[in-house]
Amino acid sequence: MDTVSGGRPAPPRTPGPAAGCLAVLCELLRSRNEFAGPACAVLDDMAAHCREPLRVAVTGDVSCGKSTLVNALLGGRHAAVRWEETTAEVTWYRHPSLPPGLPPGPEHRMAVVPFPLADRIVLADTPGVNTASGRGRVTEDMLSAASDAAASATVLLYLSGAELMGGSRERLRRFVELTRGEYGSGFNIVLVAAKADTCTAPWPSIEENLIAKSRIPGVRAVAVSQQLAMTVRAELLRPGHLATLRTLAGNSELAAAVPGGWHALELTARRTGVAMDALAALAEVAPLPCVTPALPLVADGTIGTLRQLSGFWEELSGLRAVEAALESLAEDSEVLTVNAVTGRLHRLAARLGAARADRIQRGLAQLRRCPHFVALDRRGAALHLRGPALRSVPDGDRAATAALLRGESDGPLPPSALAHWQRLAFQPGRSTEVGRVARLVIEAASAPPPVQAHCSCAETLRKEPRG
């Protein structure tokens, strides 16, 4: 992870030049008299959305462990965690150097925390979607087209159990609609099989099942024990925990009782005269199913220090996989953010009536001619290469094509890859998205990357007659 000295995060990264042009459009619209009133706040937030690192919201049912995961990602106990409905508002955790900004909606608040990924993401903790108190409405608003806060986050970390219930599928489907770009979406969703330590099935099979059940192309899934992740990242491990692990590892009767759960361990501990408070202290920081795989490594000396234990549990917790997914999404922050904010602008236009809608549409049409947007179109297509619709393209050809579309390769596309795309571009019966990607690849293979040094969006947009 990128951190500057002292463990502080590197300076925040903005999504990129196309998002910058979209921010200019939002700011110019906001400065016009005809957009005075409630639309101002929404346009302000859209401009901020374009200028901040990737906005990620952690969502899911009440008490599924959202705040625990947020704390693990933040590396400290910032969000309250309890075994009952707890989180009552949306909190956006942001890099200390970002402008303070205004919260995207009522019942949202901002908090400054220098967490490891703060240079690449802004992280929101949210109330559970199915609260008894009704506070989940603020989260549902972020996922519902009718609200100004809809798609105020670009990426969802959606927590569920090992199964994806109907309500969750419907929410995810709506979010895809809110944030989809030209080439479809789903690339901006990470399904988290939460409290995976409580599941008996192997974690990889849970992840595969979630992806299949979501029926959303492009989603990723990670099984996570957030409790273990928080223990490691919030540095809650103490020498006493390691000493208790050694006691368990050195006593075959006790070690055999651990997989049976707390009750079995308690009975055995009482019989063998082992102190219960030490076992309870260990179980508080590490769910017992995560203790089991550590025991042989403690016994054979592979885990001999707190640092080694911490590294082992960090990997086991699934947190690194979540961070890897977020880092990879942050690489596509520009295209994902522009998709989300463009959708927000279209929905605002639909609510504001014909004259103002026309003004917004003219601005967006102008942006589509901007060289940064042409480049972005290609990056969007590169993102689509990761999805299942293009699995027929061999891996090597896919990698070469992605590099070409991202402007990262100088060389020509291998002839085999070009032939593949030519076939896909004009094959009848192909989905329009596949055909569109294929035609973009062919265009990119024959035309140099668009010049990105300068665009005149801001000047052109400013010349629009004032209302």
Ligand X SMILES: Nc1nc2c(ncn2[C@@H]2O[C@H](COP(=O)(O)OP(=O)(O)OP(=O)(O)O)[C@@H](O)[C@H]2O)c(=O)[nH]1
Binding site for ligand X (CB under 6 A): 62-68, 81-83, 85-87, 127-128, 195, 197-198, 225-227, 287
Q: Which is nearer to Mg ion, 87 or 247 (CB)?
A: 87
Which partner, ligand X, Mg ion, none, binds residue 220 by CB below 5 to 8 Å per kind? none
The residue assigned the tokens 């959202």 is 66
Least distance (Å) between residue 149 CB and ligand X: 18
Rank residues 21 and 113 by Cβ distance to ligand X and give the closer one.
Answer: 113
C-alpha span between 208 and 346 (Å, rounded) = 34
User: Quick check: 59 binds Mg ion (CB under 5 A)?
Assistant: no
Residue 168 binds: one of ligand X, Mg ion, none (C-beta under 5 to 8 A by kind): none
Given ligand X, Mg ion, none, residue 185, with its beta carbon under 5 to 8 Å by kind, binds: none
- Out of Mg ion, ligand X, none, what residue 463 binds, judged by CB under 5 to 8 A for its kind, is none
**Identity of the residue, 227 or 244, whose beta carbon is nearer to ligand X in the bound complex:** 227
Q: Which of 67, 91, 227, 317 binds Mg ion (CB under 5 A)?
A: 67
Nearer to Mg ion, 20 or 128 (CB): 128
- Distance in Å, CB of 226 to Mg ion, minimum: 11
What is d(CA 377, CA 183) in angstroms, rounded to the nearest whole number? Answer: 9
Q: Tokens for 252?
A: 């075959």
Residue among 196 and 349 whose Cβ is closer to ligand X: 196
DSSP state of 387: S
Which of 67-75, 190-198, 237-245, 304-312 is the region at the interface with Mg ion (rule: CB under 5 A)?
67-75
Closest approach of Mg ion to the CB of residue 433, in Å: 37
Q: Give CA–CA dist 4/116, Å, rounded.
A: 10
Report the C-alpha gap between 206 and 259 in whole angstroms.
20
* Distance in Å, CB of 125 to Mg ion, minimum: 6
244 binds Mg ion (CB under 5 A): no
Tokens of 264: 């079995």
Of 7-15, 66-74, 241-249, 364-372, which part binds Mg ion (CB under 5 A)? 66-74
Where do runs of H (alpha helix) occur along 318-449? 319-331, 333-352, 354-368, 371-384, 395-405, 415-426, 432-446
One DSSP character per residue, 16-70 reads -HHHHHHHHHHHHHHTSGGG-SHHHHHHHHHHHHHHSSEEEEEEESTTSSHHHHH
Nearer to ligand X, 224 or 461 (CB): 224
Within a 13 Å sphere around the CA of 190, how many CA atoms are in the beta-carbon half?
Answer: 23
Minimum distance from CB of 122 to Mg ion (Å)? 17
Nearer to ligand X, 287 or 380 (CB): 287
The least distance separating Mg ion from the CB of residue 70, rounded to whole angstroms, comes to: 8
Say which entry of ligand X, Mg ion, none residue 295 contacts (CB below 5 to 8 A, set by partner kind): none
C-beta of 96 vs 167, nearer to ligand X: 167
Decide whether 61 or 332 has the Cβ nearer to Mg ion.
Answer: 61
248 touches which of Mg ion, ligand X, none (CB within 5 to 8 A by kind)? none
Distance from C-alpha of 246 to C-alpha of 261, rounded to nearest angstrom: 18
**Shortest Å distance, C-beta 109 to ligand X:** 14
What is the rounded CA–CA span in Å between residue 465 and residue 458? 14
Q: Which does 83 bind (CB under 5 to 8 A by kind): ligand X, Mg ion, none?
A: ligand X
* CA–CA separation, 344 and 176 (whole Å): 13
Q: Which long-range contacts (CB under 8 A, 24 or more apart) does 282-286 make?
A: 282/241, 282/244, 282/245, 285/227, 285/231, 285/236, 285/237, 285/241, 286/227, 286/228, 286/231, 286/241, 286/313
Residues 84-103 touching Mg ion, rule: CB under 5 A, are 86-87
Residue ranges in 68-87 that form contacts with Mg ion under rule CB under 5 A: 86-87
Smallest separation, CB 172 to Mg ion (Å): 19
Question: In sequence order, what DSSP letters do the residues of 61-128 get, joined into one string?
Answer: STTSSHHHHHHHHHTS--S---SSS---SEEEEE-TTS-----SSTTEEEEE---TTTTTEEEEE---
- How far apart are the C-alpha atoms of 188 and 175, rounded to whole Å? 9
Chain residues in the site for Mg ion (CB under 5 A): 66-67, 86-87
